Structure 1
């Protein structure tokens, strides 16, 4: 069975460049909304700013209209893990806010997420943010041409487990990405290494650990989108889209291509 028979899309270098253009739109939009977010602002106001910015850069929001989703961002607050619908909710001091953004340029997608704290949060929540973000980079850093998708999964899980008693969502995963936002293969945040599709040049993946300070069990609210922890514990969510070149990893949704974080891990950087 070949790659395309399994639905895995392999891009040319020129198509990866198109994904980089989409990734930069996402990176700049997340930078904008991170700077804009403050107590008193609604999640809908953040979303409107994001949509305007994405369109102003000549791109289209990936999320808007996706299976009926009504926002250009997913904005998830505190015990909301992912897929929060932007609207009338007013952000408050001390909130933990996860922001997920996608954009399309010339038919190619970029997808990334970050988590921010508004004002003062506890040391426990600061640690959660740090562990979740670092696990994302450890996952990307474990990827090598010729390796397997679960090498990423194992690196995420191993790092999180080494840092304390955190919950790792299992029913929500990273994914392939390219001419569609969600494609095979799934990229779980747990598992044994050496399994799953082979990591080859032209494959692009979105890696996105979703980590809680309590149980990993979740429910979906009546809006049929917002994922919340069943025990009310808070969660963090970070995501990047990346690919592998012969030189190393290239993070398409990071402004610097991921160079600084990858080099800090001693991982080869594969961008321009």
Structure 2
């Protein structure tokens, strides 16, 4: 059953989502080659606990870490590990907090140091597609309108691979509620959007083909062709006329710009260029 939230519930979710944004901003200030994703996992766990929350991901269906750290060809659900990050890596961090009975969780992709124009374009276009989808998350539209907007901007304009097996979702007292929110689809199809539905919109876009596989650990999902993948995610509340974005990338982007180890050059490239 698709649930709508009261304004008070939405306010709690916005506070939680913004907490995750602030935590990711703290990571953005210090992220650099040589760090390990296991260090980041511990840092984020400690910050969530300091906020009086619980790491949502830990032991979720048996997931053994506090966050997902997906590097380069890992699409999502990458395990934190002791491998030092390298210059040129694309690092997608996905993190959640449960506090006051509700979940806030979202993802952001960072670029360490020098990277190829192709990789930087993929990061930029994937982030753009997230906002294209959010523009359609308004009362009276349908899930397919969000899905089409993301697919059209990534696959339609740039020929990228849009992952089919993994989708966005409803969000609330648990991390996954109805409805599913795919990143591909037809306009005018799917569930109708109602005011105060809360959803996670999260394009997962591959530089190469859309095909993926799951490693033997049962969690880590990689591109079949070994090409990079990028993941951005916002928590969103459906409203009339314009969606309310519950998470806040602006504080992450501001932190990125203070860190010379991160490549933010794609921020300043005009859309579709």
* 1:159 is the counterpart of 2:160: no
Equivalence for 2:62: 68
Superposed, 1:222-237 pairs within 5 Å as 222-237=216-231
Write out the 4+ residue segments of structure 1 that deviate beyond 6 Å after TM superposition. none
Instruction: Give the equivalent residue in structure 1 for 2:99.
Output: 105
8 Å CA contact retained: 2:137, 2:239 = no
Find the counterpart in structure 2 of residue 131 from structure 1.
125
Corresponding residue for residue 142 of structure 1: 136
Partner of 2:238: 244
CA displacement, residues 140-198 of structure 1 (integer Å, 9 cap, x when unaligned): 01222111111100100111134312100000000000011011100000110111111
RMSD: 1.7
Q: What secondary structure sits across from 1:25 in the alignment?
A: helix
Which of these residues, 16, 25, 31, is aligned with residue 19 of structure 2? 25
- 1:270 corresponds in structure 2 to none
Where do 5+ consecutive residues of structure 1 fail to align?
Answer: 1-6, 258-263, 266-272
Secondary structure at 1:248's aligned position in 2? coil
Instruction: Output the CA distance in 2 between the equivalents of 1:246 and 1:156.
Output: 20
Q: Offset of 1:251 from its aligned partner?
A: 0.7
Q: Give the unaligned 5+ runs of structure 2.
A: 252-269
Q: Please give the secondary structure, in 2, of the residue aligned with 1:245.
A: coil
2:164 corresponds in structure 1 to 170
Provide the residue aligned with 2:199 in structure 1.
Answer: 205
1:16 aligns to 2:10 (yes or no): yes
Greater shift in the superposed pair: 133-142 or 68-77: 68-77
Measured in 1, the distance between the counterparts of 2:93 and 2:127 equals: 13
| Distance across 2 between alignment mates of 1:226 and 1:183 | 22
Q: CA deviation at 1:255?
A: 5.9
C-alpha deviation, 1:248, in angstroms: 2.2
Aligned length: 253
Structure 2 partner of 1:4: none
Distance 1:187 1:202, change over 3 A: same
